[in-house]
Amino acid sequence: KNQVEQSPQSLIILEGKNCTLQCNYTVSPFSNLRWYKQDTGRGPVSLTIMTFSENTKSNGRYTATLDADTKQSSLHITASQLSDSASYICVVSGEHAGNNRKLIWGLGTSLGVNP
């Protein structure tokens, strides 16, 4: 069964600190993995998208890693800011025949950044 599991479920850190969020997946075959940030009551915003051949990708203070062998990914946030408080969702795209590639969504990690 195709699944995406994230940990921790929730996390609270102090402003300025770093944190790392984890994502394990069992989606096969694999096309790409993406991390989204979703603020409360808003739609998801893409942070990074990585294909099979990419091990790491950065977007400002966000750095994602991918180990396709162990089927694990992480999202590292450096120098956290209050505005980083949101849900971070790991999403894996599996390959299907034709163009209808569906996304397998994780439940997300709820991050709270306190002053």
Partner 1 sequence: GAVVSQHPSWVICKSGTSVKIECRSLDFQATTMFWYRQFPKQSLMLMATSNEGSKATYEQGVEKDKFLINHASLTLSTLTVTSAHPEDSSFYICSARDVGQEGGRALINEQFFGPGTRLTVL
Taking the least distance from each CB to partner 1, the nearer of 76 and 105 is: 105
Does position 51 bind partner 1 by CB under 8 A? yes
Of 18-26, 42-50, 62-70, 78-86, the window that binds partner 1 (rule: CB under 8 A) is: 42-50
Give me the torsion for CA of 26, 31, 32, 36, rounded to 10°.
-70
2-31 binders of partner 1 (CB under 8 A): 31
Give the DSSP per-residue string, 25-50: E--SSEEEEEEEEE-TTS--EEEEEE
Q: Which of 21, 92, 106, 109 binds partner 1 (CB under 8 A)?
A: 106
Long-range contacts of the stretch 60-69 (C-beta < 8 A, 24+): 62/35, 64/33, 64/35, 66/33, 68/30
Does position 73 bind partner 1 by CB under 8 A? no
Residue that the structure tokens 């980083």 belong to? 84
> How many residues form the binding site for partner 1 (CB under 8 A)?
22
Point out which residues bind partner 1 (CB under 8 A). 31-32, 36, 41-46, 49, 51, 89, 93, 99-103, 105-108
